[in-house]
Structure 1
Amino acid sequence: MKQYLPQPVIRDLETQKKYRWQTAVTLLILFVVSAIVNIPFSKEIRRLKLKPGEIDPKLSEPIMNSIIEVGISSATLGIVFILLGVFTCRKTYLGTPNLTAIFSKTPKSKYFNKSVILSSILIGTLVAIILLGVFEIQKQIYPVVAVNNRPSGLFYILASFSGAISEEVVFRLGIMSLIVAIIQYLKEVEKPTNTMYWAGIILSSLLFGLIHIPMAGNFFEITAFTIAVTMVGNLITGITFGLIFWRWGLLNAILSHFVFDIVFHVIGTPFS
């Protein structure tokens, strides 16, 4: 399989160190913007969960209040995970080589390779199609009744943009990098081994699955079966994005994640 995929992106560790503050600030801006973009989706979820006669004060809250609240909380969260990823990259050989290249004088073609971008898009699309097919089979064998309607495709486009950025920053750049760095420190090695990277990918993907269980509860009753389906599905996608992050950098993981969400949630509509 490896011979059919583009080579890993080169990590210039000194360049990443030199431009780490520019990279961190850029990522923080993207992180906060992605959280604000998700406000309509979050409000639509709350609206769809209302029972007849119920009133949710959050839905009538002035939009500026929501923006300020979300902006402050996301900035606080983003700072933690972005700094984790940016400042551990010299040890973990991960980081954001694509984004760093924008600020450096390095030829951009080394980091924005067409074959890498296309591969990221195709992998995200393929995984989404496979999981949609599995969902269709599961519906026939063991149907699960939805407890709430799902937001329309427009809301999911916003959520796809938001989730791709925020989740990749938190789970890949932040948590995965931290796990690799901790294992590397405990093993006292200069450079992480493939086993260490795989440990980071799998452990961060398990956390990725856990964080999606409450989201599944917006649509289905939380049972052992829905928890298992949520965990397995997000473990598969988490591993996919983790591999792309390891091989081709954060921006390509974000791109693949966004494409996956569009195909899976907007085109495929698994919760319809």
Structure 2
Amino acid sequence: MVSETCPYPWRTFIFLVVAGTLTGPLVIPYLLGLLAIAPGPQPPVLLRSLILSGFIENLKYLLPGAGIGLWVARKIGLGAPYLEGWLDGAPRPAQPLSSIVWPALFWATVTAIIAFGIDAFFRYALGVTTPAPEIHARIAVPWWRSGLASLWAPWAEEIFDRLFLLSLLAWLGMKLFRISGEGRWIALWVANVATALFFGWYHISNEELFVNPVSFIVALRTVLIVLPAGLAFGWIYIRRGLEAAILSHFFIDVIVHVVRPIVEHGLV
């Protein structure tokens, strides 16, 4: 995708950090909506404090995510090929940007259906009825609030998880075990699985609003719900670049956080 010999893509780095930072405040209405329906007393929330802490938290992940991620990704032929081509003069992909739309939508749709099926199994077969906010299940948060959050998560999470973490793990694996040629795919898939598990693990914190401490079965459900999407985002990142992973993440967020609540509750 992106050659290691190209100069560091500073414009792409700035673009990714700015995009992740500017969309950060859009998640606040969703967080406030979750706090409003969470059982038990919740600490008072000052909006300015929430914005400031969110801004700092965003930068804590965006700066190394984009900064180190762009550097290490190109060492193994990954990165953000379309952005780096447009903004930094790197060789552009042979396929147009529009070519990533259908693969991104396909994997988003498939993994959303799998996630709904996993949640249904845990609910009806195992009796796990606690909310599953990661797929907007059993939470009364209006679609427009979660829809706004869907404009932020694809940027922040894909920059850190796929561009940074997956690339770093794959590169370290190739270096430590001196992997090259076809063995490269083993390192990439091990990194993809590890990153997807991490992706599922940190979504467990969403459950703490509704059940604390989080039981093993609820934690397992959360990881299994999120895992297929994490694997798909990693695969499409490896094959088509960061832009495709961001787009696929956006599509699945729209499916679970906008389409689902509209279908279940209408435009309220």
Band the TM-score falls in, shorter-chain normalisation: 0.7 to 0.9
Equivalent of residue 232 in structure 2, options 240, 261, 269: 240
Residue correspondence of structure 1 range 110-129 to structure 2 within 5 A: 110-129=94-113
Question: How far has the Cα of 1:214 moved from its partner?
Answer: 1.0
- Say whether the 8 Å CA contact 1:146–1:271 is kept in structure 2: no
Equivalent of residue 71 in structure 1, options 55, 79, 92: 55
The answer for the alignment partner of 2:85 in structure 1 is: 101
The answer for the alignment partner of 2:134 in structure 1 is: none
* SS of equivalent to 2:23: helix
Between 174-183 and 158-167, the greater mean CA deviation after superposition: 158-167
Q: Percent identity?
A: 23
Superposed CA deviations along residues 220-272 of structure 1, whole A, max 9, x for unmatched, are 56222111111112221111100000000011101101111111232235999
Residue correspondence of structure 1 range 45-60 to structure 2 within 5 A: 45-49=34-38, 51=40, 54=41, 56-58=43-45
Between 76-85 and 243-252, the greater mean CA deviation after superposition: 76-85
Give the Cα–Cα distance (whole angstroms) in 1 for the partners of residues 240 and 47 of structure 2: 41
Give the Cα–Cα distance (whole angstroms) in 2 for the partners of residues 198 and 107 of structure 1: 25
The answer for the alignment partner of 1:11 in structure 2 is: 2
Opposite residue 57 of structure 1, the aligned amino acid is P
Give the Cα–Cα distance (whole angstroms) in 2 for the partners of residues 201 and 128 of structure 1: 19
Question: How far has the Cα of 1:80 moved from its partner?
Answer: 1.3
Give the Cα–Cα distance (whole angstroms) in 2 for the partners of residues 138 and 50 of structure 1: 21
Give the Cα–Cα distance (whole angstroms) in 2 for the partners of residues 140 and 196 of structure 1: 38
Residue correspondence of structure 1 range 171-186 to structure 2 within 5 A: 171-186=161-176
Superposed CA deviations along residues 153-176 of structure 1, whole A, max 9, x for unmatched, are 111112222211111111101111
- Say whether the 8 Å CA contact 2:3–2:74 is kept in structure 1: no
- Say whether the 8 Å CA contact 1:84–1:177 is kept in structure 2: no
Equivalent of residue 223 in structure 2, options 226, 231, 256: 231
**What TM-score comes out, normalization by structure 2 length?**
0.84
- Say whether the 8 Å CA contact 1:19–1:103 is kept in structure 2: no
Between 244-253 and 110-119, the greater mean CA deviation after superposition: 110-119
Aligned residues: 256
Residue correspondence of structure 1 range 181-200 to structure 2 within 5 A: 181-189=171-179, 193-200=184-191
**Cα-Cα RMSD:** 2.7
* SS of equivalent to 2:130: coil
* SS of equivalent to 2:152: helix
* SS of equivalent to 2:209: coil
The answer for the alignment partner of 1:201 in structure 2 is: 192
Between 77-86 and 250-259, the greater mean CA deviation after superposition: 77-86
Opposite residue 66 of structure 1, the aligned amino acid is L
**What TM-score comes out, normalization by structure 1 length?**
0.83
Opposite residue 112 of structure 1, the aligned amino acid is P
Unaligned runs of 5+ in 1: 1-9
The answer for the alignment partner of 1:153 in structure 2 is: 143
Please state if 1:169 is matched with 2:159. yes
